[in-house]
Amino acid sequence: MKIQRIIGKVLKYFSLALITLVTTGPVFLAVLTSLKSKNEVYDLGVLELPGQLHFENYVTAFVDGNMMTGFKNTLIMVIVALGGAIINGTMVAYVFSRFEFKGKQILKSLFLFASLVPGMTIQVMLYQMISRLGVYNTRMAGFLLYIGTDIISIYIFLQQADSIPVSLDESAMLDGASYLAIYQKIILPLLKPAVATVAIIKGVGIYNDFYIPYQYMPKNRLRVVATALFQFRGQYGTQWEVICAGVIITILPILILFILLQKYIYNGLVQGAVK
């Protein structure tokens, strides 16, 4: 038994070390590459240290990459899309949880089916819809896609909405509350753990997303942080040192936010999972 416990501990720490290496290794390599010159990127090995630290790569990435505009557009996208997804998801969950109507189970099944369809298989149809709506190359394209295709969030909200006692609704109705008032004053406040979970998962997803901004919002003034550095990739060469510097700049806000709010993030994830 003692040998088994020792082997178990060795395997546990080995797996943790391996996972840590896999997750932090690319970030370390990005930092190392961002401090090299263009010649050193191609002449030196991947793990070799540069002869001199080139912090000007960060200035080039931030200024020439127009990162300030990227952060502004990303912030607008996250706030509007996240707010819309939360309102849309909680309202749909409220209707499915509290009301009985014909075709309810069919609709729930269709939502489940939609969540199982690979996103890339419907991109042609989505592109045609966005074009015909006349919102291509506008922020509205991103808003509609982030909000309208958010099926998983609905099921997260629905799972917790089903655990809220119906007696609370009945008591509110006896006091003259409308369905909208019940949603605003009872359902939505009690869905806070699920809202925190969705806000964390979807917010990070929107911040990191490259495909939707690149495909549906290609204008320079609409670039987000994920697409701002794409201009450093050219036909005759790629400025990897500048791109890596931009990647580190992009990571820093999320890293700082995580350090400051990690207690609330963990609580939101755990409570949302329990509910």
Average pLDDT of the chain, as a whole number: 85
Closest CA to 191 of 170, 165, 160, 162: 160
- Tell whether the model's pLDDT for residue 271 goes beyond 60: no
Residue-level pLDDT at 264: 60
| Overall average pLDDT of the 241-254 stretch | 89
Of the pLDDT bands very low, low, confident and very high (cuts 50, 70, 90), residue 272 is very low
Q: Is 117 in a helix, a strand, or coil?
A: coil
* Model confidence pLDDT, tens digit, residues 37-66: 888 888 887 888 888 889 999 998 888 888
Assess contact for 187 and 157: CB atoms under 8 A.
Answer: no
Assess contact for 222 and 73: CB atoms under 8 A.
Answer: yes
What gap in Å lies between CA 172 and CA 177, rounded to an integer? Answer: 5
Of the pLDDT bands very low, low, confident and very high (cuts 50, 70, 90), residue 18 is very high
Compare 152 and 84 and report the one with higher pLDDT.
Answer: 84
Q: Is 135 in a helix, a strand, or coil?
A: coil
- Tell whether the model's pLDDT for residue 197 goes beyond 80: yes
Tokens at 256, concatenated: 């700082």
| Overall average pLDDT of the 194-199 stretch | 86
* Model confidence pLDDT, tens digit, residues 86-145: 999 999 999 998 888 888 888 888 888 877 888 778 888 889 999 999 999 999 999 999
* Model confidence pLDDT, tens digit, residues 19-35: 988 988 888 999 999 99
Q: How distant, in Å, are the alpha carbons of 38, 112, 146, 166, 223 from that of 108?
A: 54, 6, 20, 20, 36
Give the list of residues 6+ apart from residue 71 with CB closer than 8 angstroms, or none. Answer: 225, 253
What gap in Å lies between CA 203 and CA 46, rounded to an integer? Answer: 32
Residue-level pLDDT at 273: 47
DSSP string, 219-252: SGGG--HHHHGGGGEETTEE-HHHHHHHHHHHHH
Q: How distant, in Å, are the alpha carbons of 2, 13, 54 from that of 16?
A: 21, 5, 33
Residue-level pLDDT at 268: 53
Radius of gyration of the chain (CA): 24
* 177 dihedral zone (left: phi>0; alpha: psi -120 to 50; beta): beta
Of the pLDDT bands very low, low, confident and very high (cuts 50, 70, 90), residue 76 is very high
What gap in Å lies between CA 158 and CA 182, rounded to an integer? Answer: 16
